[in-house]
């Protein structure tokens, strides 16, 4: 597992974290921003399949949101990953992803993850490519949603990254 800085706690999100997750997503400048309401709901309904990294003050400095696919309960769909700009470059996103998948492998038996990444989002491409390499997992890519499917204006295609099967590490 990739270790986060020692002063960070990897935890489940609480409803009271919803506003901070919305702010982190907004400030990322790369994520599709959803309504603040959706982040509150996410922290309530999908806390068990998501993770936050908390700084010394207890406030989230990064998050991974996800859900277990209803038609494939061995697969975690990672919806969004964000880390506060002041905390980037320290392995927090990798530690969040490793911690979340290890927890869900133990609790729910997941053996794979899926996520979508727009072309040119090199930080996400590196995060998920390195995750696959760390866990000895296969990585397949295909366009899941072509640009023309998005009804609200120009949107790049969403490329599906399918990673697995993997065996999460449990060491820190």
CB 114 within 8 A of CB 75: yes
Q: What's residue 152's pLDDT?
A: 85
pLDDT at 2 over 80: no
User: Could you tell me the pLDDT band of residue 10, with boundaries at 50, 70 and 90?
Assistant: very high
Residue 144's pLDDT is 96
Mean pLDDT of 73-81: 97
pTM for this entry: 0.90
CA separation for the pair 55, 75 (Å, rounded): 29
Residue 125: per-residue pLDDT: 96
Q: Provide the strand spans (E) within the chain.
A: 9-11, 51-54, 60-69, 72-83, 112-117, 139-145, 158-163
């Amino acid at each position: 597992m990739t270790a986060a800085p020692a002063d960070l706690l990897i935890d489940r999100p609480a409803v009271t974290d919803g506003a901070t997750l919305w702010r982190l997503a907004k400030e990322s400048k790369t994520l599709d921003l959803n309504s603040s309401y959706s982040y509150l709901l996410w922290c309530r309904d999908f806390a068990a399949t998501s993770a936050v990294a908390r700084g010394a003050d207890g406030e989230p400095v990064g998050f991974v949101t996800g859900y277990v696919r209803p038609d494939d309960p061995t697969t975690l769909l990672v919806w969004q990953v964000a880390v506060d700009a002041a905390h980037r470059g320290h392995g927090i996103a990798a530690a969040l992803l490793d911690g979340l998948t290890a927890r869900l492998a133990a609790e729910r038996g997941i053996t794979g993850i899926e996520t979508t990444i727009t072309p040119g989002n090199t930080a996400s491409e590196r995060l998920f490519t390195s995750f696959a390499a760390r866990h000895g997992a296969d990585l397949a890519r295909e366009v899941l949603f072509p640009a023309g499917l998005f009804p609200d204006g120009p949107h790049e295609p969403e490329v599906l990254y399918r990673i697995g099967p993997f065996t999460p590490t449990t060491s820190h």
